[in-house]
Amino acid sequence: MAKLIILGSSNAIADKAHENAYMVIVGETRKVLVDSPHNPILRLEEVGVDYNGITDLVLTHFHPDHVSGIPLLLMDMWLRGRTNPLSIFGLDHALTRLENLMDAFAWGNWPNFFPVTFNRIPPVGIHSVLSCDDFDIYASHVCHMIPTIGLRIEFKESEKVLTYSCDTEPCQEVVNLASGADILIHEAAGDFVGHSSSKQAAEIATQAEVGKLYLIHYPTGEFWQENLLEDARSHFVGKVELAEDLMTFDF
């Protein structure tokens, strides 16, 4: 059975109970890591996903709370003896910077490094990222401070659809990605440039006519906002919950 596991749910300022927002999509033949803060191998082990089974990495955008763990992820995979290839997907803005970052670590000199391919997603419109027996993944640019993508995952066996907004202001592109989705996972960092409040996330969920709304990338720890859920529930008639670390969605 295909599933999506929330590996982290916090905004850029994490706390002990919430890592920065990232997730993994698990199928029989493809296991797709979406973003990579911290050291994902440890969290993957915690949820029972073999790091060596990760076939793909999707980068939503090149901000530290989404990509800071990638050099360590790649190095740890190599040091642990990985030989399986890894495909990395993202906008040119993110992939070019990742290549430059890895060049700064002189990874071209790391002997017997496993194959890594970079796959650039077009910057405008909704585009297919990858397809396998369990799911299809599509991406579209959204409205953040730098070039950023949101994702739509269509699960084939259950015929369910999940959309992830990533970091974004309210925008039509997220409505398009989430149209008719069973689940929308939408950021709720706050009503400021490049981000959305929980109320705005709920308004997007209403426009897209989704079944359930889960808030992610929200303030945690000392920055927690007591009215986060209340504001969203007052603007969306469906179920509204927090996406929490280690939460699993089965499809």
Model confidence pLDDT, tens digit, residues 185-196: 999 999 999 999
At 61, the pLDDT band (50, 70, 90 cuts) reads very high
The answer to whether 226 and 219 have CB atoms below 8 angstroms apart is: no
Mean pLDDT of all residues in 198-224 = 96
pLDDT of residue 197: 98
pLDDT of residue 181: 98
pLDDT of residue 200: 98
Domain ranges within the chain, ordered by starting residue: 3-250
- Which tokens belong to 19? 């890592």
pLDDT of residue 75: 97
Statement: residue 81 has pLDDT above 90: yes
What are phi and psi for residue 134, nearest 5 degrees? -95, -35
pLDDT of residue 182: 98
pLDDT of residue 21: 98
Q: How many CB atoms lie within 10 A of CB 115?
A: 10
Residue with tokens 């590996």: 7
pLDDT of residue 173: 98
Structure-model confidence comparison of residues 104 and 221, the more confident one: 104
At 221, the pLDDT band (50, 70, 90 cuts) reads confident
Per residue in 3-28, pLDDT (tens digit) is 999 999 999 999 999 999 999 999 99
Per residue in 129-156, pLDDT (tens digit) is 999 999 999 999 999 999 999 999 999 9
Closest C-alpha to 187, from 169, 211, 173, 206: 169
pLDDT of residue 94: 98
Statement: residue 243 has pLDDT above 90: yes
Instruction: Tell me the helices (H) and strands (E) count for the chain, helix number first.
Output: 7, 14
pLDDT of residue 18: 96
pLDDT of residue 224: 82
Q: Please provide the average confidence, as pLDDT, over all residues in the chain.
A: 97
Mean pLDDT of all residues in 147-176 = 98
Say what the pTM is: 0.97
pLDDT of residue 1: 85
Strands 212-216 and 183-187: parallel
CATH fit for domain 3-250, picks 3.30.70.920, 3.60.15.10, 3.40.640.10, 3.60.20.10: 3.60.15.10
pLDDT of residue 135: 98
